[in-house]
């Protein structure tokens, strides 16, 4: 059992490390802009496909942004979910299909984050389209960034964040509340989705900072991932929230003051 636990931890670490390496290589390569806000359809081959196939541009962009988003989630959020995955693995280890159940759990978790990613990317795309049509909004885009930073700061003090954090920080209790093992595969998938939903409840405001500072910034992803992992997996992590909230609010005030001074 101990050997299996260590092997699982090593494989999990290898998966997470691989995701970070891919992101780092992508961010340092010639296509780094496609990890952020640039259009995927600017690529030579993809652009040709989009010109020939009606509606391909929107569909292709959505699929590729989703793939990039899931890669970020694998790097940032899977480490925060390790206690849940390891606890579930130990609870189901006597079942012959425990690997399948664990896979359904991970897919459910990823599905919740993928849906959130589609919503956020859709909102981000709509906001950029509006900004392109309104030069004044584009010129004052810093206001949007300041508002997002302030929102993330205020959310650190909300009761909803702390209720979600309590759920994410108690993997054994969470599993016993949401998994009975009767319809094992379906319950495993729904368990993953439920846990993903509570993780989103903890972290959505911090994840929005990715759009304020630049989606795909590996440095910011490392910082935010470390903060979210500490909040969920360590007792002292709960002490991070309020100082972080104060720092984010102060940052938003600094952004406003800086641009007001320039104006």
Nearest-angstrom CA–CA distance, 57 and 203: 30
62 phi, psi to nearest 5 deg: -65, -45
Instruction: Give the angle 114-116-117 at the CA atoms, nearest 5°.
Output: 60
* Higher-scoring residue by pLDDT: 260, 49: 260
The upper half-sphere exposure of residue 195, i.e. CA atoms within 13 Å in the direction of its Cβ, equals 34
| pLDDT tens string 91-131 | 888 888 888 999 999 999 989 988 888 887 777 777 767 76
Structure confidence at residue 3 as a pLDDT band (50, 70, 90): very low
Whole-number Cα distances in Å, 24 to 117, 206, 253:
20, 20, 31
Chain mean pLDDT for the chain: 77
Residue 161 pLDDT exceeds 60: yes
- The angle that helices 159-168 and 184-213 make with each other, rounded to 10 degrees, is 130
Q: What is the pLDDT of residues 249-258, one digit of tens each?
A: 999 998 888 8
pLDDT at res. 70: 78
Is the pLDDT at 137 greater than 70? The verdict is: no
Give the CA angle between residues 15, 17, 19 to the nearest 5°. Answer: 70
Candidate from 123-127, 142-146, 192-196 with smallest mean pLDDT: 123-127
Tens digit of each residue's pLDDT (9 = 90 or more) over 201-249: 998 988 888 766 655 566 677 777 778 888 887 778 888 889 999 999 9
What 3-state DSSP class applies to 199?
helix
Q: In the prediction, which pLDDT does 201 show?
A: 92
């Amino acid at each position: 059992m101990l050997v299996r636990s260590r092997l699982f931890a090593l494989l999990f670490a290898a998966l997470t490390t691989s995701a970070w390496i891919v992101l780092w290589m992508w961010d340092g390569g010639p296509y780094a802009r496609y990890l952020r806000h640039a259009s995927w359809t600017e690529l030579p081959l993809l652009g040709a496909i989009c010109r020939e196939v009606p509606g391909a541009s929107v569909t292709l962009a959505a699929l590729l942004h989703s793939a990039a988003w899931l890669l970020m989630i694998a790097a940032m959020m899977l480490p925060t979910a390790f206690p849940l995955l390891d606890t579930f693995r130990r609870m189901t280890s006597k079942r012959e299909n425990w690997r399948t159940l664990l896979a359904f759990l991970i897919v459910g978790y990823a599905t919740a984050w993928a849906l959130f990613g589609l919503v956020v990317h859709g909102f981000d795309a709509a906001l950029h389209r509006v900004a392109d049509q309104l030069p004044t909004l584009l010129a004052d885009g810093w206001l949007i960034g300041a508002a997002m930073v302030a929102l993330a700061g205020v959310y650190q003090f909300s009761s909803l964040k702390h209720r979600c954090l309590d759920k994410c920080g108690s993997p054994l209790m969470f599993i016993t509340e949401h998994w009975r093992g009767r319809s094992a595969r379906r319950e495993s998938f729904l368990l993953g989705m439920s846990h993903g939903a509570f993780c989103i409840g903890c972290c959505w405001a911090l994840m929005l900072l990715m759009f304020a500072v630049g989606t795909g910034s590996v440095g910011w992803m490392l910082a935010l991932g470390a903060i979210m992992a500490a909040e969920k997996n360590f007792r002292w992590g709960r002490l991070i929230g309020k100082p972080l909230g104060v720092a984010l609010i102060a940052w938003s005030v600094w952004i406003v003051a800086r641009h007001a001074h320039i104006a």
